[in-house]
Amino acid sequence: EVQLVESGGGLVQAGGSLRLSCAASGFTFDDYAIGWFRQAPGKEREGVSYISGSDRSTYYTDSVKGRFTITSDNAKSTVYLQMNSLKPEDTAVYYCAARYEKYTYYADYFSDFGFWGQGTQVTVSS
């Protein structure tokens, strides 16, 4: 059974930092990509960051470039999202998700993610 469990959310002041973790189980980690997504109240879910399980290539949406860093520890099947210089507009529920990537092409970094965690709340106060 595929499981993704997020942790590390919380309340932080603007300019502060948080590190989110996504612990994965139930699949061959190297064959999947992990994406971080977020959804703020009243807004659509958006892709934040992506990392490939095979070559650890990464991608960030423009609004977080230079502030967020995604990394993975394949030995632990865990992906981290280090969030620095947080802004109130980063407030959202953050989800990690997985998609199979071995021998598979996707046109979009944030499409076709079929496995999702339960989410973790990040609140940035001004």
Q: Provide mean pLDDT across the span 22-33.
A: 95
Going by C-beta distance under 8 Å and a sequence separation of 6 or more, which residues neighbour residue 20? 6, 7, 8, 9, 36, 80, 81, 83, 94, 96, 120, 122
52-89 tens-digit pLDDT: 988 899 999 999 999 999 999 999 999 999 999 999 99
Residue 105 — very low, low, confident or very high, per pLDDT cuts 50/70/90?
confident
Residue 107 — very low, low, confident or very high, per pLDDT cuts 50/70/90?
confident
Q: What percent of the chain has pLDDT over 70?
A: 100
Going by C-beta distance under 8 Å and a sequence separation of 6 or more, which residues neighbour residue 16? 86, 124
**β-strand pairing of 120-125 with 10-13:** parallel
Distances (CA, A) of 95 to 23, 53, 80, 103, 126: 12, 17, 12, 25, 23
